[in-house]
Amino acid sequence: MSWLIVAGFLTFFLGLALSIALHELGHLIPAKLFGVRVTQYMVGFGPTLWSRRRGETEYGLKWIPFGGYIRMVGPFPPRPDDGGKLRSMPTGPWQGLIESARQASLEDVRPGDEDRVLYRKPWWQRFIIFIGGPLMNFVLAFALFSLVFMGFGIEVTKPTVAKVSECVMTLAQEAQGQKCGPSFKPTPAAQAGLRTNDTIVSFAGRPVRTWEDATRLIRSHGAGPVAIGIVRDGKSTTLNATLIAQDRPSLADPTKMDKNVGFLGITPLIVVEKQGPGYAVGRMWDMTARTAQALVQFPQKIVGVYEAAFGGAERALDSPQSVVGAGRLGGEIAASKLPLEGKIAMFLTLLGGMNLAVGMFNLVPLLPLDGGQIAGALWEGLKRGYARVRRRAMPGHVDIAKALPLTYGVVAVLFVVFGLLIYADIVNPIRLTG
């Protein structure tokens, strides 16, 4: 079994490396189309594992597979107040840092590259170059989710009876696995004569098309008599039931309870069905919105990760995790007792979710993330558009080098956060099963 865990872990990292390569390809293709000289295309960080030069670009793999980059010449403009030349003696520690970065960025600029440096490209070209990476993640996520939804299918809950509960129990009794006895009252479904494979088509005169329709109508009805339209063995009939009121877990938040909702006492049928393109588009939109919401709540969730890592608190299932934690989940999927198709579907879902999260995270408007470069390009476009409308002199290029002190601060914070996530994924990981 251990070899399956290792195989799943390695397979996940292979998928991660492919995702990183495609992300960087999203930057590389428009950069080359717009004439920017790209000196390196690398998957990973640290020492180089393998590389090969094609034309003016070196393509390679590095040992640490937690990211990647392409190196474009001239990301920072020279200081305009020195005739395009850099100061030899910068003043102040931050100014010295900025000027050193400028100098390093111009070292790769060769004679004839004046129109091939990144900072001189129009703002809209820079926008396309840097949006290309996150966009590639979104496209990959959509492709993976669509493959799962349309190729493998998803579990769909039908308004068809899979099981009729014989007696009424409390949630605590259900959790303890108690069996029905003489002291237990029969459920409304058992009293009404509902049977396995009966399909509910109406409830209190209202049509029922999905299990969600049935659940909503049952709960909102509360206690009391009701007519239930069903189809049994291809024939339509109506049964009369008397619902009782119970406290049941909330449909919106299972950690909360809905008081005195209607209770019938049936378990619905769950089947696997392949979905169409419309479903895939709708779910992708919903998952993107959920991912954006989770990103907004990220600081709050990091507090929970810290408490789980150092305080022994239970790790929430929706807790953020590192690629190490995602790799562990990949190993658990491979070692699970699911059929092969189920394992592949879960693995593709995991990889799709990771791409969606990476794409969304990279849109945060802070350097060194792609969002910082995107924000700089948009700001330059806004300034130039304003100058054009007001017929003023065209402003210079946005100097993102001035944001380098903040960038180093962001890098330090990300280093600490990702270190915490890796540690938590080792000592208190998210697991598929208890």
User: What contacts 286, CB < 8 A, 6 or more positions away?
Assistant: none
Q: Average pLDDT in the 127-131 region?
A: 97
Chain-centre distance for alpha carbon 311: 27
Q: How many of the other CB atoms lie within 10 Å of CB of 17?
A: 15
What was the pLDDT predicted at 85? 46
Kindly report, residue by residue over 357-379, the tens digit of the pLDDT.
999 999 999 888 999 999 999 99
The pLDDT-based confidence of 331 (bands split at 50, 70, 90) is confident
Given this model, what pLDDT does residue 91 score? 54
Instruction: Return the pLDDT at 396.
Output: 83
Tokens (6 digits) for 247 = 């406290």
Q: How many CA atoms lie within 13 A of 104 on its CB side?
A: 8
- Average pLDDT score over residue span 305-328: 85
Predicted local confidence at residue 99, as pLDDT: 75
Task: Categorize the per-residue pLDDT at 86 as very low, low, confident or very high, splitting at 50, 70 and 90.
Answer: very low
Q: Is 90 exceeded by the pLDDT of residue 134?
A: yes
Q: Which residue has the higher pLDDT, 416 or 113?
A: 416
Q: What is the pLDDT of residue 114?
A: 83
Assign 93 a pLDDT band (cuts: 50, 70, 90). Answer: low
Q: What is the pLDDT of residue 89?
A: 47
- How long is the chain? 434
Q: pLDDT higher for 283 or 318?
A: 283
Least confident of 222-231, 263-272, 296-305, 323-332: 323-332
- Mean pLDDT for 231-255 is 89
- Of the two residues 313 and 200, the one the predictor is more confident about is 200
Q: Given its phi and psi angles, is residue 187 left (phi above 0), alpha (psi -120 to 50 degrees) or beta? A: beta
pLDDT attached to residue 1: 52
At 358 the pLDDT is 92
| pLDDT beyond 70 at 90 | no
pLDDT at 328: 85
Mean pLDDT of the chain: 88
pLDDT at 314 over 90: no
pLDDT band at 172 (very low <50, low <70, confident <90, very high): confident
Can you give the pLDDT at residue 178?
81
Between 314 and 362, name the one with better pLDDT: 362
Check whether 68 has a pLDDT greater than 70.
yes
Per-residue pLDDT at 286: 92
Res. 313: pLDDT tops 70: yes
Over residues 214-235, the mean pLDDT reads 94
Over 50: is that where the pLDDT of 198 sits? yes
User: Which tokens in the block code for residue 366?
Assistant: 């802070």
pLDDT per position as a tens digit, 412-425: 999 999 999 999 98
CATH fold for domain 155-273: Pdz3 Domain (2.30.42)
Q: Which pLDDT does position 182 carry in this prediction? A: 85
Q: Based on the residue annotation, tell me whether 341 is a catalytic residue of this protein.
A: no
Question: Considering only 1-5, 125-129, 246-250, 291-295, which range has the smallest mean pLDDT?
Answer: 1-5
> Which tens digit of pLDDT belongs to each residue from 337-361?
888 898 899 999 999 999 999 999 9
Average of pLDDT values for 30-51?
A: 93
Model pLDDT, residue 249: 86
> Span 221-232, mean pLDDT?
94
Mean pLDDT of 184-209: 94
Report the pLDDT value the prediction gives residue 84, as an integer from 0 to 100: 44
Strands 266-273 and 154-164: antiparallel
HSE (CB half, 13 Å, CA atoms) of 332?
A: 14
Annotated catalytic residue: which of 24, 99, 332, 380?
A: 24
